[in-house]
Structure 1
Amino acid sequence: MVRVISLGSSFAAGPGIDPQSNLDAGRSFNNYPNLFARKLGLDPTDTSQFLDLTVSGATLLNVNTDPQTAGNTTFPPQLDSLPPVQDGDDGSDLVITITGGGNDMFYIGSMFAWTLKHTLWGKLVTWLLMRREEREWLEQPTVATPEQVSQRFAFLLDSLRQRYPKAKIYLVEYFAMIGPDTVAGKDVGWDQQQIQRYEETAELLQKLYKQAAGDRRGVHVVPLAEVSKKHALGSPEPWVSDGSLLNFYRHGAYHPNLRGMQAASEILLDFHEKLQSQDKCP
């Protein structure tokens, strides 16, 4: 039987999607890792079969080396939360999914910041409900360079490979927020110039995922970004939620919705099964 471990941030964790398994982590029982595990016939409540370490807001530093405080919880680095390796365990039956890197580059955070700054309700939320340090972070975020993100991915993948030499590692791309149906000023509050900046960041993330996988053995990119463009903001069947007050209240603004998580789990399962079939070919 295969085992699954999931690492990463909110696009894997599923904030705003009911039911939540950990509110501080913004982690849903219906995120794509959980749904994928269930499609494989695993028991998502048995951590020996499925372990979800994703935390909303995590950077790759939080995955690798740095603790993360979210809500009332301080989460240890996700790598530190991996189970002890048993004798003879080379990870040959293990699948590790990773979605991260966007927070390092202030990708979705910049969408939050713009909405909170340019809407009346956003200004009220910012000044009445947010702590000073949260406001300062939105105004002056720490943004990693592409080279730093590459280094963090390399550290993560090398650490996992050293720990589990034969594990399959899936870099699951970010859902597309912007697609051919996204209209500036209608589906989003941003103008076309801002839309282009967000598209450039999304494309850079795709590039960094491909660079991270490179020729590393057992590391594969799951191409979710391109597939999901026709289900971006403004599409008839979006896989992501807009930046409305209601979605901010639910903690799901500018994030995958349930339909998106279901689709991602199916794409991941299809990718995994095709890879398994290739591995069995002589």
Structure 2
Amino acid sequence: MAAGPGIRPEADGAPRGSGRSARNYPHLVAERCGYDLVDVTFSGATTAHVLADSQRGAPPQIAALDGSETLVTITIGGNDVRYVPLLFAASLPRVLRSVPVLGRTVRDLLDPGARDAALGVVAESLRTVGREIRRRAPEARVLFVDYLTLLPPPGTPAAPLSDADADLGRHVAATLARHTSEAAAETGCELVSVDAASGDHHAWSADPWTTRPGLPWPGRVAPLHPNAAGMAAVADLVVAKVSGDS
């Protein structure tokens, strides 16, 4: 969500498979605020990839910190709870839920109990991320930037998702936003509440900041991710926070 897969142009030197855009919100904020940018966003990253695990050969993201930072932004947690895969699975033809192997994966993604278990784990993982960033960048201002709204409000159709699957997606999004806010507050970080600011710009709206479900065609913005307008809106919110305007 922070990397900006499919938003052109790709960032110079972006690792293969990272989906890192030169117009993602870190780049836009750095340009507007005059910062030297170190961008380690990587599509598909989890909290483990921030803290300890390599991703396609790239070191853990936290290794980029050396204590000289002025500002650190972090958007993470959605892949831990399989938020976008859940919505992608919900958009598939229902008959696929009974197909061997694939059906089991789809049913797990759409299982409320499994999603709640993952949400319970990510709550502590987000706190660990906040504590470790504060430890490694003690002089920096650290901003958790949560996720743009993907789904319309309850009662508004989100075809091809069923109402029940859309409600599960909303539950995951709301709980993840709450855990992110709590992690920021408990670890001496700050929150940029993109989720709260983007409700009228969901993927089914007339002025969307995110994309609807679909196939990830080359050259297009990734489905169920921010579009260019969404990235610009997130950058606006981060700059306002840094400037003390919100």
Greater radius of gyration (CA)? 1
CA drift of 1:68 comes to 1.8
2:128 to 145, 155, 173: 155
Question: Mapping of 1:218-257 within 5 angstroms?
Answer: 219-245=189-215, 247-249=216-218, 250=220, 252-257=222-227
CA displacement, residues 221-245 of structure 1 (integer Å, 9 cap, x when unaligned): 1011011110002211100011234
Question: Mapping of 1:86-125 within 5 angstroms?
Answer: 89=68, 91=69, 94-115=70-91, 117-118=92-93
CA displacement, residues 165-213 of structure 1 (integer Å, 9 cap, x when unaligned): 22111110100011349842xx430111111111111110111012101
CA drift of 1:248 comes to 4.4
Report the number of matched residues: 234
CA drift of 1:24 comes to 1.2
Equivalent residues of 1:181, 1:232 under 8 A apart = no
CA displacement, residues 73-130 of structure 1 (integer Å, 9 cap, x when unaligned): x2221112x1544xxx5x4xx1100101011001011122233x4189xx8xxxxxxx
User: What residue identity is the alignment partner of 2:213?
Assistant: G
Which structure 1 segments of 5+ residues have no match? Answer: 1-10, 43-48, 124-132
Q: Alignment partner of 1:96: what SS?
A: strand
Counterpart in the other structure of 1:272: 242
Percent identity between matched residues is 28
Which structure 2 segments of 5+ residues have no match? Answer: none
Q: Alignment partner of 2:144: what SS?
A: strand
Equivalent residues of 1:183, 1:234 under 8 A apart = no
Question: Mapping of 1:103-252 within 5 angstroms?
Answer: 103-115=79-91, 117-118=92-93, 145-180=118-153, 183-184=156-157, 187-217=158-188, 219-245=189-215, 247-249=216-218, 250=220, 252=222
**Which structure dedicates a bigger proportion of its chain to strand?**
1
**TM-score normalised to structure 2 length:** 0.84
CA displacement, residues 21-56 of structure 1 (integer Å, 9 cap, x when unaligned): 2241011000111111111123xxxxxx11010110
Aligned residues: CA RMSD: 2.8
Counterpart in the other structure of 1:4: none
**TM-score normalised to structure 1 length:** 0.74
